[in-house]
Amino acid sequence: MAVLLLATAAAAVAAEPPSPKPDFESRHYRAAVSRTTPAFTHMCVDSLGAARFPLNPVIPDATPAQGLAARVDGNAVAYVTAAGATAWEVAFAERSITLRSRHADGERGVPFTLTFDQTRNHATLLGRMEPGKRDVALPCVLHLPDLGTFRVTASARGAALDYDARRWNVKPPFVRIAFPPATAAQGTVEYAMEVVALHPPLAGIEGDARFDAFRRNFLI
């Protein structure tokens, strides 16, 4: 049975259709963002830095954010208002992604979203949630089973990410994370997503491929 399940999973990965060219790719992650709204359209991570990106579990957000235009500059993308103010900036680096929001007077801020299809990968945000609320306090951890992990932090004290997950009566079932925009009181808020491999420091496993799955998936 285990062999059958592994073979089925391998076939599913092999059948994954090719994605459009990403905005950035390193040994640790591959990512792309929308040109119409602050949202990721592609995200795959490899905590071991082996450039293993078998799928793209992201559901693109097709809802345009009124009044924003995306501008690409090297390894950065900015979302600019009609008045010329930069609402969001995304900066890609070797093993991290920085999301920076700036508040503009008279402009309604919009969140930066990342939505996963649970049928492709059951991504999970691990952190502290207050009873009755749908947000996760920062710092926290975003884990993608069999792929890898991001540590998520923010420059603003008391920051939290909006978090929603639906499985029943929804097609496809999803996990949605939203990075809140900066407020007038904050002025600017910066979120950092850093690729990490979280597992016990057991001697001898770093260079042994037999432990790769353990190192990627210790959190589950």
How does pLDDT run across 99-130, given as a tens digit for each residue? Answer: 999 998 877 889 999 999 999 999 999 999 88
Q: Is the preceding omega at residue 180 within 30 degrees of 0, hence cis?
A: no
pTM over 0.75: yes
Phi, psi values for residue 209, rounded to 5°: -65, -20
Q: How far apart are CA 122 and CA 75, in angstroms?
A: 28
Cβ-Cβ contacts under 8 Å for 5 (sequence gap 6 or more): none
The closest of 215, 60, 55 to 121, measured between CA atoms, is 55
CATH no. for residue 128?
2.70.98
Q: What is the pLDDT of residues 29-74, one digit of tens each?
A: 999 999 989 999 999 999 999 999 999 999 988 777 778 899 999 9
Following DSSP, what letter does each residue of 30-45 receive, concatenated? EEEE-SSSSBEEEEEE
State residue 20's pLDDT score: 61
CA count, 13 A, side-chain hemisphere, 20: 10
For the record, the structure tokens of 150 come out as 């991001």
For the record, the structure tokens of 97 come out as 């992604």
Q: Are strands 29-33 and 40-45 parallel, antiparallel or unpaired?
A: antiparallel
Phi, psi values for residue 199, rounded to 5°: -160, 160
Other beta carbons less than 10 A from residue 23's beta carbon: 19
Q: How far apart are CA 176 and CA 183, in angstroms?
A: 21
Residue with tokens 């680096």: 93
The closest of 199, 183, 90, 205 to 141, measured between CA atoms, is 199
Q: Which helix (H) or strand (E) holds 213?
A: helix 212-217
Average pLDDT, integer, range 1-9: 35
Other beta carbons less than 10 A from residue 190's beta carbon: 17
What is the number of structural domains in the chain?
A: 1
Parent domain of 21: 2-217
Contact by Cβ (8 Å): 115, 176: yes
Q: What is the pLDDT of residues 189-218, one digit of tens each?
A: 999 999 998 777 878 777 777 877 777 887
Number of H helices, E strands in the chain: 2, 15
